Amino acid sequence: MAPSTLASPTPDAKQRQGFLGYLIRRRSYTVLAAAVVMVLFVAAALAAPLLYDWETTTRVALDRALMPLSAAYPLGTDELGRDMVARLIWGARITLVVGVVSVAIAMVVGVVIGALCGYYENWLSSAVMRFMDFMIAFPRTLFAIIIVTAFGSGVVSLILAIGISTVPANVRLFRGPVLALKRRQFTTAAKALGAKDSSILFSHILPNTMSLVIIQGTLSLAEAILIGAGLSFLGLGPQPPTPEWGAMIAASRAHITTHPHVILVPGLALFLVILSFNLVGDALRDYIDPRSRKAL
């Protein structure tokens, strides 16, 4: 069940067209819109400290609590009188950091273990794979909750929880292609020329999994943001007054009936960002490997 055959070592002509051109040519306007949302999200996350200082984002001012949408506060204020725009933008920054760092951890660890388990087929690698299969069967949310419990609530433990709980799936995902690439002629050729195992693995096999890393990275980001927000909603993420989107929703829940905007603003932001990463990830997969379209 090798998940998508990888791009051949020789780049084919279509690849040079560029992802953006591919989207325009295929009239994938939904995906283009998703790409715009992604860019806005990253820009907001990067520019957050320039737009609003931390003080404005977290200072309590009960006299202007729960204000509706207005010119002064385009998205209103929350139950403690804080500007929703400021909190949304700072929330984007926290979400991006949590997502990117946790996915980076999951990718590096997953690719390395997956590659080793695919390259060396022995009792140890099959034992590791057995263990990974067991971990995959265990619900991710619960797995992440156990890890958060161990490290205590906060951004760092949230990152570790998401990262570690993604590793088993990544190991299984990357082992397949490595197993297949190992049997390709260019690997045999490298071996015949006297290349060491490490050099075959790192300079011949791993570079060929890069397209899979990009696709999986984008889709993993969507899932990491989803799980991170869920854990924060449960109170296991960054603590108040940190404006994490899931935590914001948890804190404002009581006002959902009277002032729905306090829930809808962070909730829709979360939904749109996750949706965008999923749409762009799917489109990237179609672009890099058109054959996978039929798979499911």
Partner 1 sequence: MANYIIRRLLMLVPMLLGVSAAVFLVLHLIPGDPARMAAGPDASEADIEQIRVNHGLDKPFIVQYGIYLKKVLQGDLGESFQTMAPVTEGILRTFPATLELAAAGMLIAVLLGVPIGIYSALHPRGAADRLVTSLAVLGISMPGFFLGLVLMLVFASLLNWLPPTGRGSFAHLVLPSVTLGLPYVATFARLTRSSMLDVFSEDFIRTARAKGLSWRKVTYRHALRNASIPLVTMLGLDFGRLLGGAVIVEKVFAWPGMGRYMVDAIMVRDIYVVQGTILVFAASVVLINLIVDVIYGALDPRIAYS
- The contact set with partner 1 (CB under 8 A) reads 134, 137-142, 145-146, 148-152, 222-223, 226, 229-230, 233-236, 246, 249-250, 253, 256-257, 260, 263-264, 267, 270-271, 274-275, 278-279, 282, 296
Q: What are the two backbone dihedrals, phi and then psi, of residue 252, each rounded to the nearest 5 degrees?
A: -95, 0
Instruction: Return d(Cα 170, Cα 167) in angstroms, integer.
Output: 5
Closer to partner 1 by CB, 190 or 256: give it. 256
Closer to partner 1 by CB, 210 or 295: give it. 295
Closer to partner 1 by CB, 78 or 282: give it. 282
Residue 134 CB, shortest distance to partner 1, in Å, is: 7
Residue 143 CB, shortest distance to partner 1, in Å, is: 8
Q: Choose among 243, 241, 199: nearest CA to 85.
A: 243
Amino acid letter for position 277: F
Closer to partner 1 by CB, 58 or 278: give it. 278
What contacts 29, CB < 8 A, 6 or more positions away? none
Instruction: Return d(Cα 179, Cα 141) in angstroms, integer.
Output: 30
Closer to partner 1 by CB, 110 or 267: give it. 267
Rg (CA), the chain: 22
Residue 136 CB, shortest distance to partner 1, in Å, is: 8
Number of Cβ within a 10 Å radius of residue 41: 22
Closer to partner 1 by CB, 131 or 202: give it. 131
Looking at the chain, list the stretches that DSSP marks H as alpha helix, in order from N- to C-terminal side.
19-25, 29-51, 54-58, 84-119, 123-137, 140-151, 155-182, 185-192, 197-199, 210-233, 245-252, 261-288
Residue 7 CB, shortest distance to partner 1, in Å, is: 24
Residue 114 CB, shortest distance to partner 1, in Å, is: 20
Residue 150 CB, shortest distance to partner 1, in Å, is: 5
Residue 242 CB, shortest distance to partner 1, in Å, is: 17
Closer to partner 1 by CB, 198 or 257: give it. 257
Would you say 79 and 255 are in contact if contact means Cβ atoms under 8 Å apart? yes
Alpha carbon distance, N-terminus to C-terminus of the chain: 13
